[in-house]
Structure 1
Amino acid sequence: MVKSTPDGARAGSGQGGGSGQGSGPDQSYSFQVDLRGIVDLLSHHLYSSPRVYIRELLQNAVDAVTARKQLDPLAPTAIRFVIDESGLRISDPGIGLTESDVHRFLATIGHSSKRDDIEGARREFLGQFGIGLLACFTVAETVRVVTRSAGDPAAPPVEWLAAADGTYSLRSLDPEDHQNPGTTVHLTPRAGAEPWFAPGRVLELVRDYGSLLPYEVTVEANGAGLRATDRRPVWQRNYASPAQRRAALFEYGERVLGFTPLDVIDLDAELAGLSGVAFVLSQPGNPAESSAHRVYLKGMLLGDAVRGLLPDWAFFVRCVIDTDSLRPTASREGLYEDERLAIVRDSLGDRMRDWLTEIAAEQPERLATFLSVHALGVKAMARHSPDMLRIMLPHLLFETTDGRVPLTEFARNHPAVRVTATVEEFRQVAATAAAQGIGVVNGGYTYDAELLALLPSILPGVTVTELDADAVTAALDLVDPADELALAPVLAAARIALDPLSCDVILRAFHPVSVPALHLDSRGARNERTRVDTAADAAELWGEILGALEASAPRAQLVLNHHSPVVRRLSRIGDPAFLKTALESLYGQALLMTHRPLRPADTALLNRAFGEFLSWATRHAAGESAGEA
């Protein structure tokens, strides 16, 4: 792809005789570029699609017009695309080029007429990288440029004709035939690229990339011309009423982004050189994936899936913005990560918070609609901002033993807030804790535990502690010693049956009566079960080490409810084997109520108990039939 040729009086060392010592003068070399290789690199690695050739043509034309307007504010600005049987032409009344400019800017890869003033380029021009015209060779066999300079009226117009093989020619033209300054670029399609020159496709691409450009752009084909640019962005137009403007924004969001927005948020950061709209998704966003946005750079579309514009927590919106301050990447399909982008990102994050604050104070129904879909996004924001948490706390619902209620309401009834670490732990104790008056919040959902930890700083006098099995057990009523003594044989049989499962058995009285047994285990008890399972599968040495930890390890508890008639009737069962089956069934039912995955040993116990009951029922039914006979 790259060749070297002599270009001076320097020779590389080590090119002399057998001794390896250079004896002649050094030779210098210059790189010769294989244009086909460069085009392949651009089309397959730098640019995502050949469609960008339209963007590069537009970019050069707009920059040329902008440069001429700096010389002559009254100069024409209209840009025209024309499609016919010969290919595609784009004409602009811009600054144009002289013959020396053509050699410098068109025939030198990587050189840009804007590069000499980078900061000016960022503010005034679209292009910066000096390789844009090469994108045309992804679809064109030849590129013909006819141009006349407005900066040097005495210079004759010139024609530059380049081919995809890297060769080009340059000739001067008759000034009488090209009296007006400006540039026309004519592309001849390469084999297989004809669909990119279809009038409908070109109009679609020009509208997509250039709809917000400040100059009029038209596309002409088959004798008809269509305007491809809007006069002003939809969010900057004047409307008869706020309702009409809101309706127009909703229609624009649906047409451009492909979904019906739930709401819209105005974005106007003058200091950051940015304007636009954020469209709230009508479906919950994915917190693990930052949202993609449609970004225009000085009116030219940079990309419709640009990431990094908003903070990661703002995954519930997609934005359409126009900016003149942010830097594009070399492919001009993303934003360059720098301090300026970080400032814009923070500014837009502040705007999201301000919008939520406004509708929370003035339009609670609108906020409720938003939270019904995007409560998770607001929780993600609130965990980074105590002020946002304070504002949103009365509106965010949490799963508690009092139902789905705001924490402000829950804390009024339960100043001592207990939190479960997982959803399973909450389900395990929710019914019993509610009946006993214990206030418990489910901290197992995304962000909930983090927000609950911040609660004491927002609500003075409120304490937040993690719920454990001992706290629940301590809240249950003790049973009269005489009643417990009457059930002593049952308790003894239960302890023997459940000991292999690392589960203790106790008797308490609690509500609701419909719950005959409650399975409680702490995080330590679950770790103990994991240790037992690991030790069973471990090698001898590790099994001994893990077994040494057993003595002090916590165990789960099966709490039998003395208020339950089912539990009290257990003492009437005279068959020890059937009593064991009944106790295992109670254990299995209590375990299922926790909604936790079952271990193989627990599954085997449930299957065995079910089989024993089925067998007993079958024998009982057969005995009754024989008695009737």
Structure 2
Amino acid sequence: MTLPDTTPHPAGADRTFQVDLRGLVDLLSHHLYSSPRVYLRELMQNAVDALTARHALAPDAPADAFGIRLYADGEVVRVEDDGVGLTEADVHTFLATIGRSSKRASGASPDESGRDMGRIIDQRADFIGQFGIGLLSCFLVADEIQVLSRSARTPDAPAVEWRGRGDGSYSVRVLPVSARPRPGTTVTLTPRADAAEWTRPAQVLTLARHFGSLLRHPVTFHDGPGGGTATPVNPEAAPWARSYPTPGARARALASYGEEVFGFTPLDTIELDLPAVGLKGVACVLPEAVPAGRRHGHRVHLKGMLLSEQAEEILPEWAFFVRCVVDAESLRPTASREALYEDDTLAAVRDALADRLRAWIARAAASDPELLGRFLQAHHLAVKSLAVHDDEILRMLLPWLPFETTDGHCTLDEFARTHRTVLVTSSVEEFRQVASIASAAGLGVVNGGYTYDRELVHRLPEIRPETNVADLDPATLTAHLDPVDRETELAAAAYLAQARDALAVFDCDVALRTFQPASAPALLVDSREARHERTRSRLAREQEGGLWGDILGALQREAPRAQLILNQLNPLVRTAVAIDEPELARTSAEALYGQAALLSRRPLRPAESSLINRSFLDLLAHALRKDS
């Protein structure tokens, strides 16, 4: 923090910025940090960095020689470490200036022993904190911060006390060695009343475990300032860092850890290891399908300290079938230390982790068909999205992916054995219109209306060159419907003419054919593109002469008509075409159109809904009059 600069200055002279600390704390609490709870993470992070620097001074010391102790009793919160400590000069340099970090080699000043801080802390990447604002987070829960520190770099260094207050003032006192016999730092907070929910002993222990469960230095919690009961915060190393008697035991331990962290039993676990960036962890395969495009957050630790539980950016978008816990050495955090900084390193890590997931899928396909089957049953959409862009996965898994077809839900491999020519629709509603008719006619049709399906089916010949794939169009279907004989056509001519007139408002033609199943009275052949073209043509006619009409007219093509195909094999249709009452013939044609439109399961236009209601009431009225 910087004190107000009240020194007179000549005109035009440079001045020093003044800092409103209260305003800055408000900015941190509302815009940088997600919650006041981060104060404990920042204190633990500073302690871990101090221990890292202490081990640099004593490289031969055991890993557990220095530790961190947390104290809370409802009155105060204290974080004590056996780290490198601070000299009086360090206190003035690093604690009294907002934004300056002891982790930066540049800008460090020689201490009283003449050793440069930059040489002791010579690798900024060895430290979690790098922004120099973490201590300010303590003002989110307290109005005063007390720091008592003694440097480990000089054997007889005195203790130094620094007190910072929320109004921007601070004081520094040099104390005798007896004030802190051992090197290290103690930070003490007296919480405000409005921060009690974050500083109660049970909450402090919960936060410590939440943020520090994977820290490599020993951390203990004490439920009283004087000591109290000591509870280990991180009693065990990360599961991927432990030794196991067998690979099976390792897999079970990773699965158990995944269940503990995420709350579900993984379908399988994928161990992650990228030595180049010091990343280790585990990916847990979700046992159930998730909505397409829904990305889960992943738990990312940096050097053991939890960075984020919602780090979506660590994996590509298509990998929504896993949730990960990773601990990395070389990734960069943002200033809030709650997300990852998007840079080339993160992009390379994301690509490398994607390769690990692909390798797991390939291994399951090659050696564990039962696991692959369970995985595809739950996550075929994720694999389809990957296969669209990954030729290796396409060749490996396309024949085994399930699709909706006229033979039911089956794999393309099964479907292609029965149908040498595979037809694919462009929409779900088009498939629903033709599925039963195409199946009865012996046509093999795949529903291409779902995400990725049409594109993938068209790539099937790359895997099976003997298979032909083509888009289904109305002409292909109607070519497989048998025409009626000439006498039947002539006998139905009058009815067909009245039906065409009744349905002209929908740009719908009417034809008479025979097809299976005989239980289907009519088939409405119409595509979304055709409906859009007819709508554009109608708007162009209505806007004729205006600018909008000219634009629509320039886009206009010959509008394709819908086609209502009546089934001569159906008893109801045979009765309808023999009707000699014009109004009843029109009503029956409208009713057949409405029924076919409902079977297509596409959204009905208002005029179609009105037609269905009107034709039903008219037929009901006719039936009642006839009965009377």
Counterpart in the other structure of 2:66: 77
CA contact (8 A) 2:492 2:578 kept: no
Identical aligned pairs, as a percentage?
A: 53
Counterpart in the other structure of 1:553: 559
Alignment: residue pair count = 608
Which residues of structure 1 form unaligned runs of 5+? Answer: 13-26, 623-629
User: Residue 572 of structure 2: which of 566, 581, 584 is its match?
Assistant: 566
Counterpart CA distance in 2 for 1:217 and 1:551 is 74
**CA separation of 1:477/1:173 partners in 2, compared to 1, >3 Å: closer, same or farther?**
same
The amino acid that maps onto 1:415 is R
User: Residue 377 of structure 2: which of 372, 375, 383 is its match?
Assistant: 372
CA contact (8 A) 1:313 1:377 kept: yes
The amino acid that maps onto 2:140 is T
CA contact (8 A) 1:356 1:367 kept: yes
Counterpart in the other structure of 2:98: 109
Does the alignment pair 1:238 with 2:243?
A: yes
Does the alignment pair 1:33 with 2:33?
A: no
Counterpart CA distance in 2 for 1:91 and 1:199 is 16
User: Residue 263 of structure 1: which of 263, 268, 271 is its match?
Assistant: 268
**CA separation of 1:440/1:52 partners in 2, compared to 1, >3 Å: closer, same or farther?**
same
Counterpart in the other structure of 1:137: 139
Question: Displacement of 1:474 after TM fit?
Answer: 1.6
Counterpart CA distance in 1 for 2:351 and 2:404 is 32
Question: Displacement of 1:337 after TM fit?
Answer: 0.2
CA contact (8 A) 2:365 2:372 kept: yes
Counterpart in the other structure of 2:114: none
Counterpart in the other structure of 1:50: 36
- TM-score, normalised with respect to structure 2: 0.91
Question: Displacement of 1:461 after TM fit?
Answer: 3.6
User: Residue 597 of structure 1: which of 593, 603, 607 is its match?
Assistant: 603
1:78-102: CA deviations, max 9, x gaps? 2111223651221111111111111
Counterpart CA distance in 1 for 2:584 and 2:557 is 31
CA contact (8 A) 1:535 1:542 kept: no
**CA separation of 1:515/1:181 partners in 2, compared to 1, >3 Å: closer, same or farther?**
same
Question: Displacement of 1:207 after TM fit?
Answer: 0.6
Counterpart CA distance in 2 for 1:244 and 1:347 is 26
What SS does structure 2 have at the residue aligned with 1:91? strand
What SS does structure 2 have at the residue aligned with 1:383? helix
Task: For 1:207-218, list aligned pairs within 5 A.
Answer: 207-218=209-220
The amino acid that maps onto 1:5 is D
Does the alignment pair 1:489 with 2:521?
A: no
The amino acid that maps onto 1:169 is S
CA contact (8 A) 2:162 2:172 kept: yes
CA contact (8 A) 1:588 1:606 kept: yes
CA contact (8 A) 1:296 1:321 kept: yes
Counterpart in the other structure of 1:185: 187
Task: For 1:254-403, list aligned pairs within 5 A.
Answer: 254-403=259-408
Counterpart CA distance in 2 for 1:312 and 1:551 is 39
Does the alignment pair 1:93 with 2:82?
A: yes
Point out the more displaced range, 305-314 or 389-398. Answer: 389-398
Point out the more displaced range, 307-316 or 504-513. Answer: 504-513
User: Residue 164 of structure 2: which of 162, 185, 202 is its match?
Assistant: 162
Counterpart in the other structure of 1:576: 582
Counterpart CA distance in 1 for 2:202 and 2:98 is 31
CA contact (8 A) 2:2 2:168 kept: no
CA contact (8 A) 2:384 2:452 kept: yes
Question: Displacement of 1:302 after TM fit?
Answer: 0.4
User: Residue 451 of structure 1: which of 444, 450, 456 is its match?
Assistant: 456
Does the alignment pair 1:616 with 2:622?
A: yes
Counterpart in the other structure of 1:22: none
Counterpart in the other structure of 2:511: 506
Question: Displacement of 1:113 after TM fit?
Answer: 1.3
Counterpart CA distance in 1 for 2:235 and 2:302 is 15
Counterpart CA distance in 2 for 1:2 and 1:432 is 81
CA contact (8 A) 2:94 2:102 kept: yes
Counterpart in the other structure of 1:23: none
Counterpart in the other structure of 2:198: 196
1:6-42: CA deviations, max 9, x gaps? 6575422xxxxxxxxxxxxxx2211222222221111
Counterpart CA distance in 1 for 2:535 and 2:206 is 61
1:383-440: CA deviations, max 9, x gaps? 1101101111232100111221111222233333221111000001111111112221
**CA separation of 1:523/1:93 partners in 2, compared to 1, >3 Å: closer, same or farther?**
closer
Point out the more displaced range, 179-188 or 202-211. Answer: 179-188
The amino acid that maps onto 2:194 is G
CA contact (8 A) 2:4 2:19 kept: no
User: Residue 523 of structure 2: which of 498, 518, 534 is its match?
Assistant: 518
Point out the more displaced range, 223-232 or 150-159. Answer: 150-159
Counterpart in the other structure of 2:230: 225
User: Residue 148 of structure 1: which of 147, 150, 161 is its match?
Assistant: 150
1:466-486: CA deviations, max 9, x gaps? 211111112222222233222
Question: Displacement of 1:291 after TM fit?
Answer: 2.3
1:525-575: CA deviations, max 9, x gaps? 312442366458758747976689989321111112222233233343232
CA contact (8 A) 1:121 1:127 kept: no
Point out the more displaced range, 260-269 or 547-556. Answer: 547-556
Counterpart in the other structure of 1:5: 5
Counterpart CA distance in 2 for 1:44 and 1:550 is 54
What SS does structure 2 have at the residue aligned with 1:332? coil
Counterpart in the other structure of 1:15: none
Point out the more displaced range, 281-290 or 137-146. Answer: 281-290
Does the alignment pair 1:66 with 2:68?
A: no
The amino acid that maps onto 1:228 is V
**CA separation of 1:300/1:490 partners in 2, compared to 1, >3 Å: closer, same or farther?**
same
Point out the more displaced range, 95-104 or 183-192. Answer: 183-192
Counterpart CA distance in 2 for 1:373 and 1:289 is 14
Question: Displacement of 1:605 after TM fit?
Answer: 2.0
**CA separation of 1:558/1:85 partners in 2, compared to 1, >3 Å: closer, same or farther?**
closer
Counterpart in the other structure of 2:479: 474
**CA separation of 1:519/1:69 partners in 2, compared to 1, >3 Å: closer, same or farther?**
same
Counterpart CA distance in 2 for 1:548 and 1:266 is 58
User: Residue 125 of structure 2: which of 123, 126, 134 is its match?
Assistant: 123
Counterpart CA distance in 1 for 2:586 and 2:599 is 20
1:336-379: CA deviations, max 9, x gaps? 00000001000111111111111122222222222222111111
Counterpart CA distance in 2 for 1:548 and 1:446 is 32
Point out the more displaced range, 563-572 or 208-217. Answer: 563-572
Counterpart CA distance in 2 for 1:237 and 1:210 is 17
Counterpart CA distance in 2 for 1:571 and 1:234 is 76
The amino acid that maps onto 2:5 is T
CA contact (8 A) 1:424 1:594 kept: yes
Question: Displacement of 1:158 after TM fit?
Answer: 1.2
CA contact (8 A) 2:403 2:411 kept: yes
The amino acid that maps onto 2:298 is H
Counterpart in the other structure of 1:19: none
CA contact (8 A) 1:6 1:29 kept: no
User: Residue 594 of structure 2: which of 588, 591, 606 is its match?
Assistant: 588
1:211-263: CA deviations, max 9, x gaps? 11111100101421100013310233233444444443333223322344333
What is the Cα-based RMSD across aligned positions, in Å?
Answer: 2.5
Counterpart CA distance in 2 for 1:485 and 1:3 is 102
Counterpart CA distance in 2 for 1:2 and 1:148 is 23
What SS does structure 1 have at the residue aligned with 2:16? strand
Question: Displacement of 1:144 after TM fit?
Answer: 1.2
Specify which structure has the bigger relative contact order, considering alpha-carbon pairs within 8 angstroms and separated by 6 or more residues. Answer: 2
